[in-house]
């Protein structure tokens, strides 16, 4: 999504396999819109989920898209952790960190303005200033969390690059195994009501994703592509079945994996499912498959996906405005089209994508957004 990361810096030589990155990011961008639309449908029309089919469509659509954000971070790691990629402190702060900070401030204020426009109770200076203050506290629109996450990764990037530059394959593999065990597998002990006193001094799963992308980019060719395809399919199928089983039968033993709405948030050290072991299996398989196969395929398809990728950061930033416009302000009901809401949800996804794409094209021409999108 962040083209300063994903497309390389201006004037720099693009790394090999860039077509693979373009395709992966474009597909992930569309899946993120679907994920946010499904979640918004739950929040706005939860009272209309009177049948198992309606509830299951939203929850399965939501849970199966968690792989997308980790894949963006993996592409970031694949590109920026390469030893030949030179990023000094001046470039880090003036280009990478400055761009994310500007995006947080500009779009945080923009979303506060939109809230004031559409919500009568927000049309006061105190409410507007409160919305602007939420840019600092992280209380702005929920999808903006990714920018705060990206900023944290950037701030520690010099240390991460030192680790990558001084490490051999076995060192990175060791790091991934340790982080995977303690940040993904150990939390599962909570399902058995077992408290584990062992831990590592890493707070979140996101550095794991950064280094996994670097590992798959540099050494992933040693596995055949079908392994990655099998990983992606197995992770996706298992997530779908687990979500369906939890919703159909309750299964109290799975409550540690699911919050009240069914998303993977309740277990210790899980944040929206990005550290859940099945999401790791799914996302690693998707990234590995695209890294191996992304250069192949029809030239026309790759061209379309590359074009989407060029706008992916802006699409990510602005798409929720159009989802909110349809649901919160125009009161579009996805269930009015029948079939458990599937056509309606897909219509919202298509509308949000097209409008966000067009908006990003316009934003690129405005000085205030220059250097952001």
Percent of the chain residues topping a pLDDT of 70: 87
What sign does the CA torsion over 39, 43, 48, 52 have?
positive
pTM for the model: 0.88
pLDDT (0 to 100) of residue 65: 93
> Residue 144: pLDDT above 60?
yes
| Nearest-5° Cα angle at 355, 351 to 359 | 170
pLDDT tens digit string along 205-263? 999 999 999 999 999 999 999 999 999 999 999 999 988 888 888 766 665 554 433 34
CA distance 62 to 207: 23
CB 123 within 8 A of CB 337: no
CB 294 within 8 A of CB 17: yes
pLDDT (0 to 100) of residue 19: 85
CA distance 228 to 208: 18
Percent of the chain residues topping a pLDDT of 90: 55
User: 179's torsion region: left (phi>0), alpha (psi -120 to 50) or beta?
Assistant: alpha
pLDDT (0 to 100) of residue 143: 92
CA distance 59 to 49: 11
pLDDT band at 267 (very low <50, low <70, confident <90, very high): very low
**Total number of domains constituting the chain:** 1
CA distance 333 to 345: 9
Average pLDDT score over the chain: 85
Write the DSSP symbol of residue 333.
-
Instruction: Residue count of the chain, please give it.
Output: 373
E strands present in the chain = none
6-32 average pLDDT score: 69
CB 336 within 8 A of CB 344: yes
Domain that holds residue 205: 3-369
pLDDT tens digit string along 69-110? 999 999 999 999 999 899 999 999 999 999 999 999 999 989
69: phi then psi, degrees, rounded to nearest 5: -65, -45
């Amino acid at each position: 999504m962040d083209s300063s990361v994903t497309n390389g810096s201006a004037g720099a030589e693009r790394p090999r396999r860039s077509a693979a990155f373009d395709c992966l990011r474009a597909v992930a961008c569309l899946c993120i819109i679907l994920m946010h639309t499904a979640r918004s449908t739950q929040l706005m029309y939860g009272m209309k989920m009177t049948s198992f089919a309606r509830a299951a469509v939203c929850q399965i659509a939501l849970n199966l898209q968690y792989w997308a954000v980790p894949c963006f971070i993996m592409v970031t790691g694949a590109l920026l952790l390469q030893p030949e990629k030179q990023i000094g402190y001046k470039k880090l702060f003036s280009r990478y960190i400055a761009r994310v900070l500007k995006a947080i401030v500009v779009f945080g204020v923009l979303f506060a303005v939109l809230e004031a426009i559409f919500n009568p109770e927000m049309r006061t200076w105190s409410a507007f200033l409160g919305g602007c203050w939420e840019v600092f506290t992280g209380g702005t629109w929920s999808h903006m969390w990714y920018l705060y996450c990206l900023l944290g990764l950037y701030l520690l990037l010099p240390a991460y690059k030192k680790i990558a530059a001084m490490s051999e394959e076995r060192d990175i593999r060791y790091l991934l195994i340790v982080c995977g065990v303690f940040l993904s597998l150990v939390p599962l002990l909570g399902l058995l009501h077992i408290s584990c006193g062992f831990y590592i001094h890493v707070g979140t799963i996101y550095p794991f994703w950064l280094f996994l992308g670097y590992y798959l980019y540099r050494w992933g060719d040693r596995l055949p592509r079908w392994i990655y395809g099998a990983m992606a399919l197995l992770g996706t199928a298992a997530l779908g079945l687990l979500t369906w089983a939890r919703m159909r039968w309750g299964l109290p033993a799975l409550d540690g994996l699911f919050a009240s709405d069914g998303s993977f948030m309740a277990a210790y050290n899980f944040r929206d499912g990005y550290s859940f072991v099945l999401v790791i299996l799914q996302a690693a398989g998707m990234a590995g498959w695209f890294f191996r196969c992304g250069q192949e395929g029809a030239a026309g398809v790759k061209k379309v996906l590359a074009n989407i990728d060029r706008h992916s950061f802006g699409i990510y930033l602005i798409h929720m405005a159009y989802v909110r416009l349809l649901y919160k302000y125009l009161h579009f009901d996805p269930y009015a089209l029948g079939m458990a809401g599937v056509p309606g949800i897909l219509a919202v996804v298509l509308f949000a994508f097209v409008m966000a794409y067009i908006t990003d094209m316009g934003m690129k021409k405005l000085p205030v957004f220059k250097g952001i999108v």
